[in-house]
Amino acid sequence: MNCEVAHERIVTGAYGELPDEQTHELERHIAGCPDCHREREELLALKVLANAHPVMEPTANLVARSRLRLEEALDALPPKRWHERLGQRMMNNFASLQAAPVAACLLLVAGAGAGSLGGYEIAQNRAAHTAAALSATPQTQTGQPQAGPAEIANISSIVRQPNSEMVEVRYNQVVPQRMEGSLDDPAIRQLLMLASEDSASAGVRDDSVGLLAAECRAGHGCQGAGIRDALMVALRYDKNEGVREKALQGLEPYVAQDVRVRDAVLEALMNDGDPRIRTAAINILEPVEADTSVRQVLHTVANSDQNPQIRTVSRQVLSRVPEIQ
């Protein structure tokens, strides 16, 4: 046994995960190797020292912030171009071919033939399925065909008629399309939720989130599995401050009854880069400040936040309920 292998087994053995046979070999090596013997003693001493200090679990706020930053970092990664993906796939195929040249070549040829045949059949089935779906497309309240999310390229504009529940949503398919209907129309709501995720146009996202938020404030069918979820996604991840602010306003009526909404507002208070949104989040959380998580976050912000205005507003909210101090 050389020292490199011994170093790996010292770590495994320190945590009791080394088989007996390898343990005996390690002991024989250490008996004749002062360097490995010293390394094992240092590792065992470090393990004893670490056990003397219990591991602290990360707070929920730290986990939420870390997850958000990770997702933002992943979103910021530029997507690979088609030729880069093709090159990577070819390199992987060549690496496999080196291990078994003849068999891999046969499998590659057979797979290419089967893939081409299968792709042709899938394309034919999809064309037939699309034709059948178009003939059975459901209608909106205005008698217009209802489009599914997979058929919509993007939302181009949203216009609400003054003093009315009627909304006109223009969206693009292969050719531009338009749909007009009430805010209560499921098809219109589906388009608005799709528009709230349109990364190409901040104006469209602002209009759609504003309408969805207004529906929630009015109490019109703002269920957790629909509009409310879309607003929480916008509050957490949208890069436009105006969109996040409108989403926060739409979630306000549900902060006391929906724990998920409360958590989203707490994340906005801790992580949002706009002081106005953070201040609004504090005011929205005031009615539920007796909640343990809300109280803890408010105390943390009041004592250690870098923004003096946020600290002041948090202290003012806490001072209104002396019994939770």
Segment 6-15, tens digit of pLDDT: 888 888 888 7
The answer to which of 137-141, 236-240, 252-256 has the lowest mean pLDDT is 137-141
Domain termination residue (choose one: 228, 254, 280) = 254
pLDDT of residue 87: 66
Mean pLDDT of 261-266: 86
Q: Is 61 helix (H, G, I), strand (E, B) or coil?
A: helix
Mean pLDDT of 200-206: 81
142 in a structural domain: no
Residue 122 pLDDT level (bands cut at 50, 70, 90) = very low
Spatial distance between the Cα atoms of 129 and 174, rounded to a whole number of angstroms: 18
Which tops the pLDDT comparison, 103 or 237?
237
* pLDDT-wise least confident of 130-139, 153-162, 272-281: 130-139
- How many distinct structural domains can be found in the chain? 2
80 pLDDT above the threshold of 50: yes
pLDDT of residue 82: 53
At 3, phi and psi to the nearest 5? -70, -30
| Structural domain includes residue 190 | yes
* Mean pLDDT on 188-211: 81
pLDDT for res 89 = 65
Residue 96 lies in a domain: no
Indicate whether 71 belongs to any domain.
no
The residue range of the domain holding 46 is 3-51
Any domain includes 175: yes
Is there a contact between 211 and 201 (Cβ–Cβ < 8 Å)? no
In-domain check, residue 325: no
% the chain with pLDDT above 90: 0
Is the pLDDT score of 302 beyond 80? yes
Q: Grade residue 100 by pLDDT with cuts at 50, 70 and 90.
A: very low
Q: Give domain status of residue 283, yes or no.
A: no
pLDDT tens-digit profile of 104-121?
Answer: 445 444 555 555 445 445
Of 86-90, 153-157, 245-249, where does the model show the most confidence?
245-249
Strand order in the sheet with 154-160: 154-160, 166-172, 176-182
Domain-terminating residue out of 221, 254, 287: 254
A 10 A CB-CB count for 167 gives: 22
Does 116 map to a domain? no
pLDDT at 210 (0 to 100): 86
Q: What is the pLDDT of residue 83?
A: 57
* Per-residue pLDDT, 76: 72
**Structure-token pair, residue 297:** 């976050």
Of 206, 239, 254, the last residue of a domain is 254
Of the ranges 106-120, 173-187, 207-221, which one carries the lowest mean pLDDT score? 106-120
DSSP assignment string, 147-192:
PPGGG--EEEEEEEPTTSSEEEEEEESSSEEEEEEETT-HHHHHHH
SS3 labels along 112-157: HHHHHHHHHHHHHHHHHHHHHHHHCCCECCCCCECCCHHHCCEEEE
Q: State the CB neighbour count (10 A cutoff) for residue 65.
A: 15
Q: Is 84 exposed, middle or buried (0-12, 13-18, 19+ CB in 10 A)?
A: exposed
Mean of all residue pLDDT scores within the chain = 74
Highest-scoring range by mean pLDDT, 47-61, 189-203, 241-255, 284-298: 241-255
- Position 271: which residue type? N
User: Please, which pLDDT band fits residue 51 given cuts at 50, 70 and 90?
Assistant: low
